[in-house]
Amino acid sequence: MTIILDDLDNKLIDNFRGYVVKKDLVRQVKLGANVPVFVLEYLIANSCSTADEEKIAQGIENVKKILTDHYVNPEQSSLIHSKIRENGSYKIIDKITVSLDAANDKYWASLFNSNIRNANIKDSLVLDHEKLLLGGIWAIIDVIYDRDVIIKGKNYPFVVKDIQPIQLSTFEYDKIVKNRSNYSKEEWIDVLLRSSGLEPSSNGFNHRIKMLFLSRLIPLVESNFNMVELGPRSTGKSYVYKEVTPYALLLSGGQTTIAQLFVHGTTKKIGAVGLWDTVAFDEVAGDVFKDKELIQILKDYMESGSFSRGGSSGEITGNASMVFNGNINQPIETLLKTSHLFNPFSEAIRNDTAFFDRVHFYLPGWEVIKLAPQNFTNNFGFSTDYFSEVLKSLRKYSYADVVEKYFSLGSHLKQRDTKAVKKTVSGFIKLLHPDGNYSKDDIKEYLEFAIEMRRRVKEQLKRIGGMEFWDTNFSFIDKENQQEYYVALPEERGSQLIENQPLAPGVCYTSTIEGDSLTLIRIEALVTQGSGKLNISGSGKQNVRDNIKNVYQYIKANEKSILNEQHSLSNYDLTIQISPLLGSNLGSNIGGAILVSILSALYKKNLKSALAIIGDVTIGGAIVRSDNFSDRIALLSENGAKNVLVPIENVVELQSLPSSILGVTDIQFYSNAQMLLQKSLLLQ
């Protein structure tokens, strides 16, 4: 066997000898055995953390012998029963769970692969390892055979004498802090991915894909972190919580109970949220959430990290993060047109805005690559038992206040949004900078990522709940130069930022130029019953706000000719939201688009597909030509505009446009407000 190491392998061996393992060795040893990765790596890490081919071969043979002698395959269960009986005792590697037999006031152990049920176990062992009661643990188990154990006239000869959980016995956190500085940020990202079993240099990985995979680790390092990931099959959504750490509980299949998850009503024993770092639901479309009381307790817990169930139990706290995984079996574009991105959840909660508003992070699983054999690494990474201890140790730290050192959050982010964003940034800092050494640029990258993932939640809430969740134009502001950055969602308009379908009432697109900066803008006008108030969001620039107010005053002053009595502005409150889609240096000269947005919202009339408008309307109703005509049209056309309305004074500049634009975008002209509206409306 030829050992080929790269620079990162050599660094890991030099800095973390004894704590790293060549990941393909696990696949070599596994040989079809249904044993978790962390069990195998527990056995091979110390003997195989080397580049010495001979020592690796010896280590593999030793591990194979241990597995042959002590690991139990289900079909060997009768043989194991015999070995325990004939030898009087036997050491096995198996998954062990425990249940309480209340009628006999006794605990019974079950050994999964050994097919041993009702094995005797001391109360003290159960109390020392409470996870035995919640899904069980993999362990090295000493089992003895005692013919004299008789309970109510029946012989129960199998006795669990001792348990050694398969996890690291000692852990030095200082080693991570000390040695992190030996790696660049990109190298450290690759270390984490290889430690998770993935090969970051393989086909399909880029920086964004790497960050999406790393995001799955945030619930393991950040307490009370609520994550949703929905996407296609075969992307490894549940792999981290099943194989990478013994501190996560993966619930798959069947209905979850309050006792299992939170607290037993009779015994008052704490459930999974108090005993595990992360609780992951493997398939959210199933019947997991049928119990209405469970849903309410879950919402309370996701909000505050505590819950109560009445009675004398009082308020109970837990640190477990919650992860909700599921499959999306249709194109995202189709789902967004017909429903929302929480629709794959079970019927009991798919439209529960209070539940989903507690989700901190929606990972777009449809972007994650489907994993093929070449995507799994053959290089060195942290052994899983060591890696899981690193992740667990990071939970006691918090970097939630780091954002405020460099940035402030935009006005649309409410309390829950702010909490979600800060927890996400904190999680990335823990993973990528465990030594606490990070830069402003690092924080900006994590902040943009965090805002995107939380905004994805809010956009779906807006689809479900409407006006209550209107504020989704998320941004952040650089404290040093007061530059405001807006964060968009890549899936909201597919590959084109301007949607190629009839625009909803109140929605229109335009472009502006300020200095040398072009900006593509989406305008939304929302009309509600009220007393004539005008609210402007998305921009604090005075010239932009004045531009909007001038158009509003023009409509108000000319209501008799523009509006009918039923649509008088005095009967409505109007909200105008400005959303930069490309660029962030907002200019004015957007009056034409504002006028059409307001009037179409008032009359609830759809606008033409992929419509954009440039040019301004003064407070007196005059149409103002557009400066930088060709640049603005080019920006709109390149991003999906099929119909662009332009002031008539710009007609002489039409010849300056290249034929490539004229071939895909219809340019029409308007000379007054009435003509502008007529050319904008979708013909019914």
The tally of domains found in the chain comes to 3
The pLDDT, as a whole number, for residue 185 is 97
For residue 55, tell me if it sits in a domain. Answer: no
Looking at the structure, tell me whether residues 524 and 483 fall in a common domain.
no
| Structure confidence at residue 31 (pLDDT) | 60
Task: For residue 217, tell me if it sits in a domain.
Answer: yes
* Domain stops at, among 471, 490, 509: 490
Q: What percent of the chain has pLDDT over 90?
A: 57
In tens, the pLDDT along 504-550 reads 999 999 999 887 678 899 999 999 888 889 999 888 789 999 999 99
Residue 170's pLDDT is 58
pLDDT band at 1 (very low <50, low <70, confident <90, very high): very low
Does residue 61 lie in a domain region?
no
Q: Is residue 42 part of a domain?
A: no
> Do 370 and 445 have their domain in common?
yes
CATH of the domain at 582: 3.30.230.10
Do residue 516 and residue 626 come from a single domain? yes
Mean pLDDT for all residues in the chain: 88
Span 618-637, average pLDDT? 90
Q: What residues have CB less than 8 Å from 455, skipping those under 6 apart?
A: 472, 474, 487, 489
Is pLDDT of 467 > 60?
no
pLDDT of residue 207 exceeding 90: yes
| Domain co-membership, 214 together with 290 | yes
The answer on 337 and 423 residing in a single domain is yes
**CA–CA distance, 297 with 226 (Å, rounded to integer):** 15
- Domain extent, residue 505, equals 493-680
Tell me which residue has tokens 């509980």. Answer: 249
My answer on whether 455 and 551 are in the same domain is no
Asked if residue 315 is part of any domain, the answer here is: yes
**Same domain as 553, residue 579:** yes
- By DSSP bridging, strand 321-327 and strand 226-231 are parallel
273/295 Cα distance (integer angstroms)? 14
Q: What is the DSSP letter of 184?
A: -
b/e map of 286-304 (b: 16 or more CB within 10 Å)? bebbebeebbebbbbbbbe
User: How high is the pLDDT of residue 347?
Assistant: 87
Assigned domain for 16 exists: no
| CATH at 392 | 3.40.50.300
Contact (Cβ atoms closer than 8 angstroms) between residue 458 and residue 416 = no
Q: Is the pLDDT of residue 494 over 80?
A: no
Measured between alpha carbons, how far is 573 from 637 in angstroms, rounded to an integer?
Answer: 33
Q: Are 339 and 469 within one domain?
A: yes
Burial of 571 (0-12, 13-18, 19+ CB in 10 A): middle
Q: What DSSP character marks residue 434?
A: T
Q: Is residue 54 part of a domain?
A: no
> Is beta strand 106-111 parallel, antiparallel or unpaired with respect to 89-101?
antiparallel
Do residues 148 and 275 share a domain? no
Domain identity same for 105 and 245: no
Beta-carbon contacts of 508 under 8 Å, excluding residues fewer than 6 positions away, are 522, 523, 593, 596, 597, 600, 607, 611, 612, 613, 680
Q: Do 564 and 545 have their domain in common?
A: yes
Arithmetic mean of pLDDT, 421-448: 97
Which of 134, 165, 196 is at the close of a domain? Answer: 165
Q: What is the largest CA-CA distance in the chain?
A: 104
Q: Is the pLDDT of residue 240 over 50?
A: yes
For residue 3, the model assigns a pLDDT of 61
Question: Measuring CA to CA, how many Å separate 386 from each of 111, 234, 587?
Answer: 25, 26, 54
Q: Are residues 502 and 478 in the same domain?
A: no
113, 143, 165 - which closes a domain = 165
Residue 46 belongs to a domain: no
